[in-house]
Amino acid sequence: MKKVLIPTKLNAVARETLNAHGGYEVVQDDSQELSTLASQHPDTYALFVRSEKVTPEIIDAMPMLKVVIRAGAGYNTIDTKYARSKGIDVMNTPGANANAVAEEVIALMLADARHIVLADASTRVGKWEKKNFMGKEITGKTVGIVGFGAIGQLVAKRLFGFDAKVLAYDPFLSDERARDLGAVPAELGEIFEQCDYISLHMPENDDTRGVINKSLFARMKNGATLINCARAGIINEDDLRELKADKGLRFLNDVYAKDAEGDKSVSDIADIMLPHLGASTNEANFNAAQRSATQLIGYDDKGIASYVVNRDVPEGLDRAYSELAFALAHTCRGIAGGNKQMKLIETSFYGDLAKFSGWLLVQIVAALSDDFDRTQGYDAALEYLKEMGVEYFNRETDTSKGYGDSITVDVTTSVDAATFKRISVRGTVAEGNMMISRINDFDKLYFEPVGTAVLFIYQDRPGVVGRIGNALAEAGININDMRNPHDPSGKNSLALLRISGKVDCEVVEKIAEQIEALHASCVSY
């Protein structure tokens, strides 16, 4: 059993999902400090946190820790570098709470524009200060979004309902993409100069700390509003203090240097301040909790490391190709019949993927062997294969084949001392979906490796597919998708079916007997 420690108020769906999957012992306790819990549970394998600080001391208190999952977006509270040095993967759950924050931004804008907080307090004590609460409308205003990621984009989408003009600054997003999303791409200075509202949605890191400073505040329009629901560290609070009154700026704030009770340094300059409530909706808490659990399961069962933030995922590599490499190797392993003794792994990385071959090999080795620690890198993967007596060969790719960005994984296993079996699987990513395009000689499959697949190779003759369908139906299994090509000789056929649920090995074996299959296997993704 792998111990998962959840020292925070996280929706019970995380615990329930892990328990339903099995193999995890979940300890959830938000009544004690993380430091206390860490020392009580040194055998923790995975830690789920919200805004709790994960320091080197916390990490050292749990020597078996392998994964930290931030149930949320910002991971500036986790010492990711120290975690890396200890071989610990840190993940976040991008987008899981984005809508909650986007709605909070709109709530803050409206609340401030219509004096909701002050007007409520005044009316509640019996006053009638209608003339003091003349408001303004956000409809038609120009709003600048700094950091046009999951939250920034949703804020824009919500604002379009108010006919707002949205300017977006994000150095990692193309102007074309920003325009596709309805925003006007702009430089940071232009945003501060032209906007009535500026909402910050970039992460806090070494590049962003303190970047929202005097030089930008000085360019703001008089009476403009700054909203910070991102992180306290990205703005220079003293610079804002210096200019705020003169320019009549408004400042709406959700974030602090420390999430804790006590006086807040911004209380003199914040017009509305909330206790870091951005993600505090039932929906966001549920989403982040569920995503944390499913990401851990995906990481453990399928090697999905795409959410890991403290490993050098090479720049320019679409994460879907990491998952593809894993899925192709996992398919080879399934067709080879599980944990067979591997002799040789051969790979081809076509198109732009050639430069990511080292990173992709790690995913392949992780898929082929449960013992390989996938938090390690390329050199460790090569070393591991050597220790296991497995040869590895990465082929030069032939661009004339026109395979685009695709991967081939060939695995040769020994059936007995004298016989070897070679499984070759090629695949690509199309419209964001993984596709297996070839299995051995069966080409143009375009089969998505998800759910459960069964695979039969047989001598081609009429009626076989019908018999497979009937036998599956008798076992209560529906067919969701199917490919049935011939091999180039035209003698053999492949029936590759995605089925509605897990299937017992006996059912597959029985069908194989009935149709006199040359090969039968079942792969769960």
Ligand X SMILES: NC(=O)C1=CN([C@@H]2O[C@H](COP(=O)(O)OP(=O)(O)OC[C@H]3O[C@@H](n4cnc5c(N)ncnc54)[C@H](O)[C@@H]3O)[C@@H](O)[C@H]2O)C=CC1
Ligand Y SMILES: O=C(O)CCC(=O)C(=O)O
Instruction: Give residues 21-50 in contact with ligand Y (rule: CB under 6 A).
Output: 50
The pairing of strands 89-92 and 67-70 is: parallel
Which two three-digit tokens encode residue 121? 């307090």
149's contact among ligand Y, ligand X, none, with CB below 5 to 8 A by partner kind, is ligand X
Question: Cα dihedral angle (458, 461, 463, 466), rounded to 10 degrees?
Answer: 30
Using rule CB under 6 A, residue 279 touches ligand Y: yes
169's contact among ligand X, ligand Y, none, with CB below 5 to 8 A by partner kind, is ligand X
Using alpha carbons, list the distances in angstroms from residue 353 to 32, 128, 360, 426, 522.
47, 68, 9, 13, 28
Q: How far does CA 518 lie from the centroid of its chain?
A: 40
Indicate the residue among 291 and 498 with the shorter CB distance to ligand Y. Answer: 291
Question: What is the C-alpha to C-alpha distance for residues 290 and 14, in angstroms, rounded to an integer?
Answer: 5
Among 23, 63, 135, 171, binds ligand X (CB under 6 A): 171
Indicate the residue among 26 and 150 with the shorter CB distance to ligand X. Answer: 150
Among 159, 220, 279, 385, binds ligand X (CB under 6 A): 279
Which two three-digit tokens encode residue 138? 């956000």
Using rule CB under 6 A, residue 197 touches ligand X: no
Using rule CB under 6 A, residue 62 touches ligand Y: no
Using rule CB under 6 A, residue 231 touches ligand X: yes
Question: What is the C-alpha to C-alpha distance for residues 399 and 67, in angstroms, rounded to an integer?
Answer: 39
Using rule CB under 6 A, residue 185 touches ligand X: no
Count of residues near ligand Y by CB under 6 A: 10
Question: What is the C-alpha to C-alpha distance for residues 108 and 424, in angstroms, rounded to an integer?
Answer: 56
Enumerate residues 6+ apart whose C-beta is below 8 A from 311: 84, 89, 305, 375
51's contact among ligand Y, ligand X, none, with CB below 5 to 8 A by partner kind, is ligand Y
Stretch that binds ligand Y, among 35-43, 275-283, 304-312, 386-394 (CB under 6 A): 275-283
Using rule CB under 6 A, residue 150 touches ligand X: yes
Closest CA to 411 of 401, 426, 399, 396: 426
Count of residues near ligand X by CB under 6 A: 34
Stretch that binds ligand X, among 97-105, 242-250, 390-398, 507-515 (CB under 6 A): 97-105
Q: What are the counts of helices (DSSP H) followed by strands (DSSP E) for the chain?
A: 17, 21
Stretch that binds ligand Y, among 34-42, 272-280, 301-309, 320-328 (CB under 6 A): 272-280
Indicate the residue among 67 and 327 with the shorter CB distance to ligand Y. Answer: 67
Q: How far is the CB of 266 from ligand X (least distance, A)?
A: 14
Count of positions (residues) in the chain: 525
Please list, residue by residue across 361-382, b when 16 or more beta carbons sit within 10 angstroms of its beta carbon and e when fewer do.
bbbbbbbbbeebebbbeeebbe
Environment class of 178 (CB within 10 Å of its CB; exposed 0-12, middle 13-18, buried 19+): buried
Q: How far is the CB of 77 from ligand X (least distance, A)?
A: 9
Stretch that binds ligand Y, among 24-32, 116-124, 276-284, 359-367 (CB under 6 A): 276-284
CA angle 337, 341, 346 (to 5 degrees): 90
CA angle 119, 121, 124 (to 5 degrees): 105
Stretch that binds ligand Y, among 68-76, 169-177, 415-423, 511-519 (CB under 6 A): 68-76
Using rule CB under 6 A, residue 97 touches ligand Y: yes
Q: How far is the CB of 227 from ligand Y (least distance, A)?
A: 15
Which two three-digit tokens encode residue 35? 């430091």
Instruction: Give residues 238-267 in contact with ligand X (rule: CB under 6 A).
Output: 254-255
Q: How far does CA 303 lie from the centroid of its chain?
A: 13
H-helix or E-strand containing 335?
helix 319-336
Q: How far is the CB of 205 from ligand X (least distance, A)?
A: 7
333's contact among ligand X, ligand Y, none, with CB below 5 to 8 A by partner kind, is none
Among 73, 183, 235, 464, binds ligand Y (CB under 6 A): 73
The residues of the shown chain that bind ligand Y, judged by CB under 6 A, are 50-51, 72-74, 97, 276, 278-280
Contact footprint for ligand X (CB under 6 A): 72-74, 94-95, 97-98, 101, 146-152, 169-173, 201-204, 207-208, 229-231, 254-255, 276, 278-279
